Amino acid sequence: MTEPGRDDGHTSFSHRKYSQNDSENLGARFRSARPNANRLRAHETGRLGLIDKARLRLDNRSFSFLMKERNFLSALLNTQLGTVPLLGRGKVRDLYAVDGALLLVATDRISAFDHVLGSGIPGKGKILTQISLFWFELLADIVPNHLITADVHEYPAELKPFADQLEGRSMLVKKAGMFPVECVARGYLAGSGWKEYCSFGTVCGISLPEGLQDGSRLPETLFTPATKSRDGMHDINISYEETEAIVGPEDAAELRRLTLAIYKRAAGHAESRGIILADTKFEFGRTGQGIILADEVLTPDSSRFWEGAAWKPGGPQPSFDKQYVRDYLESIHWNKQAPAPSLPPEVVERTQQKYVEAYRRLTGQSIEV
Ligand SMILES: Nc1ncnc2c1ncn2[C@@H]1O[C@H](COP(=O)(O)OP(=O)(O)OP(=O)(O)O)[C@@H](O)[C@H]1O
Ligand SMILES: [Mg+2]
């Protein structure tokens, strides 16, 4: 199981002192993403809603070919914006410097267990961007955010030649001094939280009552901050006191307040759509205007979304996040070391469907990918 927005299995609780190096160098937050070319396999599974019409007309063999072509052609793994300065590539996002602002471009890369996988999920970057935009608006009265515009027509002229790559999957944002603390809210027990609870009766060092199960609702929402390991690859859970030591008591209190307030609003909205927001991760930054919500928000990459109607504590929950991909990777017994495997076409398709469904359920709108 995993941590929200953090590729699981590696998150650990530590009281190590925070190092300046962890925060100062934006480059250190990035590593060179080296997604392999999609390796596509010739079989299909029957979960192919988006091209069902084509399926009716094609025999299995030609359909498999069509699906291979489709994945190959439409997953954007790396952006190329000519001479626009590339600041770095995160696991999912490419970050460019534009006119004193930042251009965040969500690619179709997918990571799991801290590795970028060999296959992309076509349209994923668009879905993540559109979900974040939806939440930024819904949360605007609670916290200001980094968005300048996501309308490519309003982008600076130097980006015009790249409108096709950027449409729908990019945001021009205010450059913020990012807090070197990932702000996690947990409303339910899952992933490494569940494992820690089994061993110690705690989650991130916070004592919990006896008798909770995998998937149980927590008595109250927990703020469980984390910071990046020195190599920028793994997240390490830290205590509230360590958070205070890193960002100062005043900002720590504000980050906790904002995290819990946003979680409450978002969980309420999700519930109204039949979805449980089990946990999620936020990143905040500071600009001249104060603390703002940055990065991506409340996406299936950064959150656990569970099917409300099917919720039953006592095991893994049906979800609209990338748990499905992690489950697949566990099933093939990948050792979680590089090189990361590619995904078979049916896993790519099913994952895409889950992201599309998350968008549809959360926003009430449909999305073309
Ligand atoms: N407004 C902003 N100003 C400065 N940096 C930002 C802003 N918004 C997001 N970022 C940074 O941009 C990067 C986005 O890259 P990406 O989402 O691929 O993340 P990552 O850090 O590699 O992986 P993960 O999300 O799994 O932790 C992050 O380092 C994030 O902190
Ligand atoms: Mg990120």
Mutate to test the pocket of ligand 1, among 6, 11, 32, 93 (most ligand atoms within 8 A of CB): 93
Ligand 1 pocket test, pick from 79, 95, 124, 174 with the greatest ligand atom count within 8 Å of Cβ, gives 95
Q: Ligand 2 centre and the CA of 56: distance in Å?
A: 39
Which pLDDT belongs to residue 47?
37
Instruction: Say yes or no to pLDDT of 55 above 50.
Output: no
Ligand 1 atom closest to the Cα of residue 292 is 1
Report yes or no on 219 lying in a domain.
Answer: yes
Could you tell me if 196 and 330 lie in one domain?
Answer: yes
pLDDT for position 218: 98
Q: Counting Cβ atoms within 10 Å, is residue 18 exposed (0-12), middle (13-18) or buried (19+)?
A: middle
Structure tokens at 360: 């549809």
Same domain for 201 and 322, yes or no, is yes
| Ligand 2 geometric centre to CA of 4 (Å) | 11
**Distance from Cα 294 to the centre of ligand 2, integer Å:** 10
Shared domain for 147 and 234, answered yes or no, is no
CA of 182 to the centre of ligand 2 (A): 10
The CB density around residue 229, as the number of other CB atoms within 10 Å, is 17
Q: Closest ligand 1 atom, CA of 6?
A: 26
Residue 102 has pLDDT above 70, yes or no: yes
Q: Has residue 205 got a pLDDT over 70?
A: yes
Query: pLDDT band at residue 328, thresholds of 50, 70 and 90?
Result: very high
Ligand nearest to the CA of 109: 1
Label the pairing between strands 147-149 and 170-173. antiparallel
Ligand lying closest to the C-alpha of residue 11: 1
Q: How far apart are CA 130 and CA 150, in angstroms?
A: 9
Q: What is the pLDDT confidence band of residue 74, given thresholds at 50, 70 and 90?
A: confident
What pLDDT does residue 35 have? 33
290-294 and 183-188: which strand pairing? Answer: unpaired
Q: Which residues contact 109 (CB under 8 A, 6 or more apart)?
A: 33, 35, 77, 91, 92, 116, 117, 120, 124, 125
Residue 369 lies in a domain: no
Could you tell me the distance, in angstroms and rounded to a whole number, from the CA of residue 95 to the centre of ligand 2? 11
E strands in the chain: 12-13, 86-89, 93-98, 101-106, 111-112, 115-116, 147-149, 170-173, 177-178, 183-188, 202-203, 206-207, 217-223, 226-228, 235-237, 275-287, 290-294, 303-307
Whether 6 maps to a domain, the answer reads no
Closest ligand to the CA of 93 = 1
Domain that holds residue 68: 36-173
Same-domain pairing of 24 and 42: no
- Number of compact structural domains in the chain: 2
Residue 336 has pLDDT above 60, yes or no: yes
Same domain, 234 and 357: yes
| pLDDT at 243 (0 to 100) | 97
Whether 226 and 320 map to the same domain: the answer is yes
**Would you give the DSSP letter of residue 118?**
S
Check whether residue 215 and residue 358 sit in a common domain: yes
* 147 plus 198 within the same structural domain: no
Ligand 1 atom with the shortest distance to the CA of 176: 3
Q: How far, in Å, is the centroid of ligand 2 from the Cα of 58?
A: 39
Phi-psi region of 128 (alpha: psi -120 to 50; beta: other; left: phi over 0): alpha
- Among candidate residues 117, 138, 173, the one where a domain is terminated: 173
Mean pLDDT of the chain: 84
Ligand 2 centre to CA of 295 (Å) is: 6
Domain harbouring 250, CATH code: 3.30.470.20
Predicted confidence band of residue 7 (pLDDT cuts 50, 70, 90): low
Report whether pLDDT(96) > 50.
yes
- What's the CA-to-centroid distance between 361 and ligand 2, angstroms? 22
Nearest CA to ligand 1 atom 19: 90
Answer with the one of 115, 149, 173 that is the final residue of a domain: 173
Considering every ligand atom shown, identify the ligand nearest to the alpha carbon of residue 100 and give its number: 1
Whole-prediction pTM: 0.84
pLDDT, residue 234, reads 82
Percent of residues, the chain, with pLDDT higher than 70: 80
Residues 168 and 234 placed together within one structural domain of the fold: no
Ligand 1 neighbours (beta carbon < 6 A) = 5, 29, 90-93, 95, 102, 104, 146, 173-176, 178, 283, 285, 294-295
56 is a domain residue: yes
Candidate from 24-28, 269-273, 280-284 with smallest mean pLDDT: 24-28
pLDDT for residue 92: 97
* 229: confidence class by pLDDT, cuts 50, 70, 90: confident
Predicted confidence at residue 12, as pLDDT, reads 36
Please name which ligand lies nearest the alpha carbon of 229: 1
Cα separation, 144 vs 287, whole angstroms: 11
Does residue 162 lie in a domain region?
yes
- Mean pLDDT along residues 129-141: 98
Task: Report the pLDDT value the prediction gives residue 225, as an integer from 0 to 100.
Answer: 97
